[in-house]
């Protein structure tokens, strides 16, 4: 009886040891798989972070170029507005001068007509 109990206990111990080794092997394999998954996720995260950083840098540069272009356009617009104001002032001056000349022409024409009429009357007499 004792030999049989000892044999049963040894068999159970061997079976438990085999199960324990199998469990440890599975745990090691799962741990290695999880470690690989974590490392792969970290590599993917770093690649995505690099891509996002490059996108941010490109967008920042594009924004800078747009701002510089906008400032140049605004300066150009201010210059054009200044030129427009000068041209409008010149046009107003020219319009006023044209009115003055038209009045003067009217006066001279009236004087010439009056002079012609006076000459005609003098010649008729």
- Give per-residue pLDDT as tens, 69-104: 999 999 999 999 999 999 999 999 999 999 999 999
How much is the average pLDDT of 21-31? 95
* Length of the chain in terms of residues written: 125
How much is the average pLDDT of 55-70? 98
Cα–Cα dist 9/1, whole Å: 12
Say what the pLDDT of residue 123 is: 87
Instruction: Name the burial class of residue 122, with classes exposed (0-12), middle (13-18) and buried (19+) by CB atoms within 10 angstroms of its CB.
Output: exposed
pLDDT band at 2 (very low <50, low <70, confident <90, very high): confident
Cα–Cα dist 34/70, whole Å: 52
Cα–Cα dist 94/109, whole Å: 22
């Amino acid at each position: 009886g004792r030999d049989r109990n000892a044999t049963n206990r040894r068999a159970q111990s061997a079976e438990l040891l085999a199960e324990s080794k199998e469990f440890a092997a599975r745990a090691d394999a799962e741990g290695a798989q999880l470690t690989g998954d974590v490392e792969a996720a970290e590599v993917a995260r770093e690649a995505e972070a690099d891509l996002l950083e490059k996108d941010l840098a490109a967008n920042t540069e594009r924004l800078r170029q747009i701002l510089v272009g906008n400032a140049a356009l605004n300066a150009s617009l201010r210059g054009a507005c200044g030129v427009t104001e000068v041209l409008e002032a010149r046009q107003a001056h020219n319009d006023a001068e044209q009115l003055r000349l038209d009045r003067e022409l009217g006066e001279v024409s009236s004087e010439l007509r009056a002079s012609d009429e006076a000459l005609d009357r003098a010649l008729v007499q």
